[in-house]
Structure 1
Amino acid sequence: MLLKKEYASLFEDVHTHVKESAEKMGSSGGALFIIHNDKIVTESYFGKQSNTKHAWDVQADTQFHIASVRKTYIGFAAAYAIYHGYFSMDDPIRRFVKDAHLSAYEGVTIRHLLTHTHGLKIADGKLVSEYKPGSSWAYRGPSIELLATIIKNTTGQSIADIVKEQVLNPAGFQSTEWIKMSQPHSKITDTIRDADNIFWTETDVADGSGMNMYVSAKELALWGYLHLKEGKWSERQIIPKEIIEMATSIQTPNPNLPIHKNGFLWFVKDTNNTFNQIGDKVPKGSYQLLGYTNVTLLVIPEENVVAVRMFNRYGSPEGYDYLSDVRSFGDTVYKCSIKASAM
């Protein structure tokens, strides 16, 4: 998609915010890409792809490890499968798993997996139930493995295959890849971690392939823009609108509970609360995902804006409030888009 570039100084505060965050976090480089009112208003690349002596500059085709932001692609694949009738949102997952006899699966549905309300966790090497499905919220790993398995077993395609066939190929994306860490190329950033940071592993469990997702700032923004435009690409409806609506609308089983609200793995803004990753000023109905590498994809439909920030650091330094940082990023994007719309 060829969007007109109309760089706007009114978004300079976002640029300043992102560069300051990169410095505080200890990222060697980063990127910022903003689309507003169907124009590219900010496109910025700074720093190096790693801390090594002869590291490449971060450029337009540099690809960053997007960590949990990959869940937007997993959510899309789930919506695709539901739309085409492979399973329904409220099907019990026992219908699709080999070890259906496990008591932890009692009452767990596809919807629970997609909204982090399943209650499943691993304890002492076993799958157990932490709470009654739908009664609370917790960010746990088993749901992603289960979703990937269910999608592949029912559709006959991996998540990567579905996304490639439905979006990457039709849209002509060139800088969105699942890559093995043992096979990097020159456009890939080296993701920095503290010596004692063993929390994050390099592999993506979503397809059991030992791969993870690396995406350029532009293509991650265009992925968000495809959602903003409800599946339209260059005035062509390449994805049914219903798939996007499912993925980006609140699907949490009991929306009255004081917990995070999710679409299909997207965080969707509802009310303000202390645990939101989306800023207080960002309007209801906006949706976002934040990765452990501090990559963020934010879509604000009310202001027709998509904003992507890319960093290459696992976690953040001790004492750094990453939640406050990402909320502030969203609020700054929203404030600047309001000003730009008023011009």
Structure 2
Amino acid sequence: MHVFPAAPRLMRRHALMLAGAATLTACAPPAQGGQPPAPDMRAVDRRLQQAVAQGEAPGVVCAIGHDRQVVHRAVYGRRAVTPAPEAMTWDTVFDMASLTKPVITAPCIMQLWEQGRFGLDDPVSRYLPQFAAAGKSTITIRHLLTHYSGLPPDLDLTRPWQGHDAAFDLTMQAAPTRPPGSGFIYSDINFITLGFVVEKLSGMALDAYATRFILAPLGLRQSRFMPPDTWSARIAPTQADEHGQMLRGRVNDPSARRMGGVAGHAGLFSTASDMCLYAQALLDRRAGRPSAYPLRADTLMLMTAPQQPQGKTDLRGLGWDIATHYSSVRGDRFPVGSFGHTGFTGTSLWLDPGSDSYVVILTSRLHPDGRGNVVRLRHDVATVAALALIPSRG
């Protein structure tokens, strides 16, 4: 175990965040005999400490996997700042935000695809007839999965609405802003729609389906929608809602929150440990190794390869980001062909099958006032982690 002191100079508003709250553990065993030495992650440590000291996020949990083991774990800063400071812990539960899309909704959809329930280029309206409204009759399931549907980024939040059925009606009436297939527009509506497709084809609520067919087979016991009150003490709060109440255990995303906490685009809560299990199971299944991941290897190869329309340069898999303006989380050293995703709350997961590596970064960067920003942190950590794991790429 390696323990590094907190950064010596702190911004005034973050002085309490780091005091006595920095812990770092490298989980790879010491080199013995012919075993390679554990990778040197000191540059990762320094960048994480700097992020907390400079207020990029109040705290951070980071995990790095390589060669089928977690080789580094880091915990810094505070889980909560207000109403009372709380130290960040390895088992902190985070609002995963848009990581719900590739981690939950996309594999749910692709399980149903494996069962022959639909074709990727089928129009969505074949399964949700109401979806044909407002010029959406030619939008396909592949368009939704790759964000090439032409739909706008969000449901209308300028007027009050509440509940699953209201969200369904708004989604069915949403109008594209450009022709499907013509360009990349990252849209929550795409995955809200896919959540409704899962429910229609399975006859189950999205959270029930995901729990039974994704989370349970993987043994992810600290991952779920709508976490119970017994988890509250471990959940990282995000920010105040429209009523001034700090969100803790209630999803930050306003559309998902209006829907009751379960949606195809957001709503999952999880921990670093569970994300490590998820990432390794995915890499193992994709590589043809024994794995509990509940999709076939060829399906995962399909999902993590470019699936955007021909000639388009924003590269998207089925649920996964490959190379778009959102891909700075890849850093400078992991190659195109690696893949991952981010979450608005400050979460991210990036995986590189070529080096059998992944990087998990979990923050609640919106806490307490919405000013945190971890875009550069994600990039920098991925870069120095890749240099440590695969130095020949340097």
TM-score, length-normalised on structure 1? 0.84
| CA–CA distance in structure 2, aligned partners of residues 317 and 209 of structure 1 | 23
Identity of aligned residues (%): 19
* Bigger proportion of residues as strand: 1
d(CA) in 2 for partners of 1:100, 1:132: 15
CA distance in 2, matches of 1:161, 1:268: 29
Counterpart residue number, 1:45 = 75
Query: For residue 86 of structure 1, what is the aligned residue in structure 2?
Result: 117
Q: In structure 2, what is the equivalent of residue 137 of structure 1?
A: 184
Q: What's 2:284 paired with?
A: 229
The range that moved more, 72-81 or 24-33, is 24-33
Query: Are residues 1:17 and 2:58 paired?
Result: no
TM alignment of 1:1-343, pairs within 5 A: 5-6=28-29, 8=38, 10-52=40-82, 54-72=84-102, 73-121=104-152, 127-179=174-226, 185-192=232-239, 201-202=252-253, 205=256, 208-211=259-262, 212-230=267-285, 235-236=290-291, 238-239=293-294, 240-254=296-310, 256-259=311-314, 261-269=315-323, 276-277=327-328, 278-314=330-366, 322-339=374-391
Instruction: Quote the RMSD (CA, aligned, Å).
Output: 3.5
Runs of 5+ in structure 2 lacking a partner? 1-26, 31-37, 159-169, 245-250
Judged with a 3 Å threshold, the aligned counterparts in structure 2 of structure 1 residues 44 and 100 are, in CA distance, closer, same or farther, namely closer
Aligned length: 333
Residues 275-329 of structure 1: CA deviation (Å, up to 9, x unaligned): 6433343212100111111211010111111110111123999998754443333
Question: In the alignment, residue 299 of structure 1 is paired with which amino acid?
Answer: L
Q: Residues of 1 paired with 2:99 and 2:67: CA distance?
A: 23
The one-letter code sitting in structure 1 at the alignment partner of 2:226 is: I
What is the one-letter code of the residue matched to 1:67? A
Tell me, in whole angstroms, the C-alpha distance in 1 between the residues paired with 2:291 and 2:279. 16
From the superposition, tell whether residues 105 and 305 of structure 1 become closer, same or farther in structure 2 (CA, over 3 Å).
same
The answer to whether the 8 A contact 2:239-2:368 is kept is: no
Residue 119 of structure 1 aligns to a residue whose secondary structure is coil
The runs of 5 or more residues in structure 1 that have no matched partner are: none
2:340–2:348 CA contact under 8 A, matched in 1: yes
Q: Distance in 1 between the 2:253 and 2:316 partners? A: 25
- Three-state SS of the structure 2 residue aligned to 1:149 is helix
Change (3 A) 1:186 1:204: farther
Q: For the residues of structure 1 that align with 2:87 and 2:367, how far apart are their CA atoms?
A: 22
Deviates more, 1:121-130 or 1:207-216: 121-130
- Offset at residue 186 of structure 1 (A): 1.3
- Distance in 2, matches of 1:170 and 1:233, equals 17
Relative contact order, CA 8 A, sep 6+: which one is greater? 1
Q: Give the letter for the 2:110 counterpart.
A: A
Per the alignment, in what secondary structure is the counterpart of residue 174 of structure 2?
A: strand
CA positional deviation for 1:222: 1.7
Matched letter for residue 149 of structure 1: F
Secondary structure at the residue paired with 2:233? coil
Distance (Å, rounded) in 2 between the aligned partners of 1:207 and 1:243: 33
Letter in 2 for 1:305: S
Higher mean Cα deviation, 312-321 or 43-52?
312-321
Contact kept? 1:148, 1:206, Cα under 8 Å: no
Q: In the alignment, residue 247 of structure 1 is paired with which amino acid?
A: M
Is the 8 Å Cα contact of residues 148 and 207 (structure 1) preserved in structure 2? no
